[in-house]
A and B are shown apart, each in its own frame.
Chain A
Amino acid sequence: MSHLLTAPHRWMLAAAGPDSGGIKVFQVVALAVLAPLALLSVHALIFGRRRRMIIPAAVLVAACFVTAAPALTQRGAELLGIGRGADLVAYLTTFAVIGCYFLVLYSHRRLRLQITELTRQLALAQLDSQRPRSGG
């Protein structure tokens, strides 16, 4: 049992890198928030078949990895030729924000269309009570 509890801790220490100075309180708190949200979004994506969850799920899973293993972002940045891990995180955050913005816009548009259709049906219901009169 104790092995199960300490295993993630060891993995995080290793992933944080040799100069990380161990796990910070911030990482533990952030992961306590992010990990359940990531699990929920992945669950909704896979089992709920909600395709629009793909961006939130990707962002949350990535956030978990970056928080747990900051050294990974540095390696990723070097691999992409960006240089600093913090820059990679900043760029990815920008893309994630843009993605989320369009996601909200899409939801807003769907809702707007539904409101318009409801308004339209209420207006068209008035048609039955009015006899058409020919012009001219």
Chain B
Amino acid sequence: MPNWKHHDIRIAYVIPAFNEGDVIASVIEGLRRDGPPGDVVLIDDSSNDSTSAAARAAGAIVLRHPINRGQGAALQTGFDAALRLGAEVIVTFDADGQHNPADLFHFIETLLTSNVDVVLGSRFVEGSADIPAARRVLLRAALLFTRLTSRVNITDTHNGLRAFRADALRRIRLTEDRMAHASELLDLIASAKLRYVEVPCHIRYTDYSMGKGQRWSAAPRIAFDFLLGKMMR
């Protein structure tokens, strides 16, 4: 652990998960071992494998959705839980093991010492050498869409690593249950006029995480869901 000075700050890691029984224990153990100390809140979105049991055994607080509602719904449940636990900093972290817990020191340090409400992870701040070509094109398309619809000036729109101050998180509420939540979150950040900054993060692309990631075929549906939600909000 680097020279960590913020032991008095209560941190909660929110991890939405669906059928991650194979990897979730190592993800939570890695987070607890290599990241800043905090409560790990795992939202099991009605998995039909051992996700809940494995996460609980690894030391996480596990809340289980009785029916599957999607990643966006699980994230908002996690936000509510983290706020009820009294967390001052809330971090979203992916369940598939693609995030590096060591990045979190810089993430949270930036949130606590800069004049911002939200810290967003970006794969593009320091180049994009490790990103598979197809994924890079998809992310660029998503970036263009988000800039057009939400006018958020960022470089990476669909990065699951984010850190929020509690008072900032209270000002936004996700309504997109499924994958359109990533665009909605940025839109809400812009609407609530939250101050944000991007910091670099490193993504570990494995066959497992690539298999869990979004495909081109899902993009039109996500865009439609987001635009419809924005219209009806």
Contact = CB atoms under 8 A, between A and B. Distances in A.
Do chains A and B stick together as partners?
yes
B200 interface: no
A109 B38 contact: no
A65 B83 CA distance: 57
A116 B73 contact: yes
A113 B1 CA distance: 41
Secondary structure of the B side of the interface?
mixed
A133 B59 contact: yes
Given A120-B73, A130-B62, A105 B228 contact: yes
Given A115-B69, A119-B67, A124 B80 contact: yes
A123 interface: yes
B61 A127 contact: yes
A119 B78 CA distance: 12
Given A119-B69, A119-B73, A134-B38, A124 B63 contact: yes
Contacts of A133: 39, 59, 61
A122 B39 contact: no
B15 to A, nearest CB: 12
Interface size class of A (residues with CB under 8 A): 20 to 34
B35 interface: yes
Interface string A96-127: 00000000011001001101100110111011
Given A109-B229, A116-B177, A133-B61, A124 B81 contact: yes
Interface residues of B, number: 32
Contacts of A109: 228-229, 232
A11 B215 CA distance: 61
Most central of A122, A126, A127 by chain B CB within 10 Å? A127
Contact of B35 (A106, A115, A132, A135): A135
Given A116-B69, A123-B66, A126-B63, A135 B38 contact: yes
Interface of A: 105-106, 109, 112-113, 115-116, 119-120, 122-124, 126-127, 130, 132-136
Interface of B: 1, 13, 31-32, 35-40, 43, 59, 61-67, 69, 73, 76-77, 80-81, 84-85, 175, 177, 228-229, 232
